[in-house]
Structure 1
Amino acid sequence: MSQSGLVTLHTLSTLSNHDFIHTVRGLQTEIKRINTENSIFVNFLNANEPALIERMDVTLTKVQEMQSQAQPEPNKTVSGISGAINAPVDAQSAVSKSVMDEKVLKAAKGPRINYSYRTDLLLREQDDIQTNLERFIKKTHLQKNRLIAEIEESGIRNTELVEARNNFETVVVIEGIEEITQKIPAEKFVRYMQEWLKFAQIMLEKLRLRTNSLRTTYNKLKSQLIQKEESGVSVSEVDFVQLDIANKNFLDSIEEKNKNLIELKQINGKASYMLSKHKNFLQKQQITFDKILETILRTNSFYERLDRDYDATSLVIEKQQEKYDDLVKLTSKYTVPDVMEYIKKKAELANLKKNLKVTMRKVNIQMMAMGTYSRTMCQLTGITKVDPSWFESTISTPDSISIIELSKAIPSFIHKESFFKALDSRKMEKDK
């Protein structure tokens, strides 16, 4: 602080309130200016001569010791350069500093820095701040461009996602529903996803080729720039104009190609939509064809079954026709017998039944005897089984029926009708 800025207690007591506030504010601005100078000076020393900061700390400690000797009351001191720079400023501290003894301040005075050196330090500090600001501006510019590119990329992704969602809803959700089941078949979903993945792979290959071409051009330009820097060729304003013209031409060609690409995308979208539509129509026609083919096969099988049934029915009809013809012949030649003759036949039938019962009893008795005789023969001969040659000789029975014939007729006796038929046939043979 300069000596002109110091105020004594006598001067402060004579000031009015308005002048006192004005004086305090002036002191505060002076302190701010000194703090700014100190910060600039400290930054300069940190960059160029860090050893001088230690000397300044020693000087400040000496000043504080002298202040403590001059003032008997203990006051809060500021330690270090950072404390001297960032010390709080208010009216009371300004007044307490203003009432210092001039002798103490004169004894604590160090070497002063002239105005030209201060200006030089200020210009250097300004240059450093300018370089840091330019570096920060470049960094923020790059960050801004990166953020703009990310925003544009996110916008493109959003539009592509919306377009893909709309296409998915139209192709799979709306048109892919079956009319009968009202469900989306898994085959259509899988087919759509496979086509979409193929299209994505094609686009990735195109973008990869584009990035590779841009990388090669960037490497070529970088190598050319390095060669120019090494050869010392100075770039003139004409080169920049030529570069601007070339950039404009490239931008125009890029815009034209982008327009062509958008048109091709639209054409491709329409073609893919028509293709999917025709695929759906073809699939429906294929389903209808399969149904018709299945109906034809089922009808053919039904016709074949009808043919087989017709053949079987014709055979049954032929058999029934033969039976019918036989019955017609029988009915045409059939004559009703006389009543007396029928009564006689009935009486003969009753007598025959009685005789049959008697005969069967005798046959049973003879069979039992034959069983005992056969067992005795087996015991005598030592044979376990009955020999059929033992029964070759016939035994006289009523109506000259052999034992073998009776043994054959015995099982049919269980069914009376068959037995009577056999008996009638036997009697008819005898009558003949």
Structure 2
Amino acid sequence: MEKGSSHSHSSVDSYGSLNDLTEDELHKMIQETLQANTVLEAETFMFERHLARIEQKEGIKDSGPPSTQSISVRDPSYRKRSRSLMASTDRSQRLTAEQKCDIAQKEIEALKTSIIKVDEESEKSLDYYKAIMEEAEINLSELKKEYYEFERDVLKGALHPRTNKIIAEKCLRFFEDKIKARDLLIEKFRLKNAALKIQMKKMKQQLKQKAEMGEVLNEVDFNQLKIENEQYLEKIDERNQDLLRLKLMTGNTLQVLNSYKQRLQTLTKEAVKLQNDLALREDLQQKILAETKMVEAERAQAEKVNKKLRKNLTDFRIPDVMEYVHGKADIYDLQKKIKNWERKVDIAELALSTHTKAWKVLQLQVQRKHDWQDV
């Protein structure tokens, strides 16, 4: 605290007398003094902890300054006493920067050690509570299973069909079976416990033999093995990550492959259907071509008859009345036949044009299908 007072005196000397200072300068001087006092309090607290730890190691309890566990630095009475003590001490007894650094380093190491101990204790407590939770979960699952079996075998399966009451013999048999099963389980655990005791005895003998032969690992070997174990665990984690990534890639590849297989099956079915349609259209085209040839032949023949009739018309001579009547009737019949044949020809040409268009569309579809399969 002498440092803070000297700092305040130097601040007053630098700023001048207090009466001549402005409010801003006073506020600034107060802030600087408070910061210096905070630093001094932290240093004092750390030094007292260091002294208390040294006294605990040396076994000194009553001599020296009080520990931080009984008196706090922030106690006003303690501050007054510390001020008086610090004022009475000689300035030559102050700690140097190197000593302060050594004390701070030792405090940091002690704090790290305490943190490690607290972590170990917390891990042990956590493992203990996890074990309790696992035991509780196992007991709960066993209770649920036993309740289900009791409800199935006794409450529902042991009911008398006429009186609708539980049969006592079945209930007693159920509990006897449970007791026998529990006895068998206890015997199994007893045998297992005995085997573990024998195994522990063997392991202790082996450790004793290794200790006698000088093969027991020291702390450095354990630390080296711990470091190697951590390295191997990191490698195992990396390999697990790679394995998960490869599994994801395999899953995605299988999904794509299945989609392509389904698409291939669909396209194969469609190709078979198109081939059947193509065969039907080809048969229809053959029939249409045959009918077209037949109609063309009939049309040629009708044209020949028509030419012959037109030639006869050009060489027409005035017949008798009866010949004229018969001729007119024949001409009328022939005109009707010509109209019928012309109508048939028109219908055939329309059908031919329709089937020709359908045939071209089908050829284009088949050509596109082949081009897609080639791609």
TM-score under structure 1 length normalisation: 0.41
Whose Rg is larger? 1
TM-score under structure 2 length normalisation: 0.47
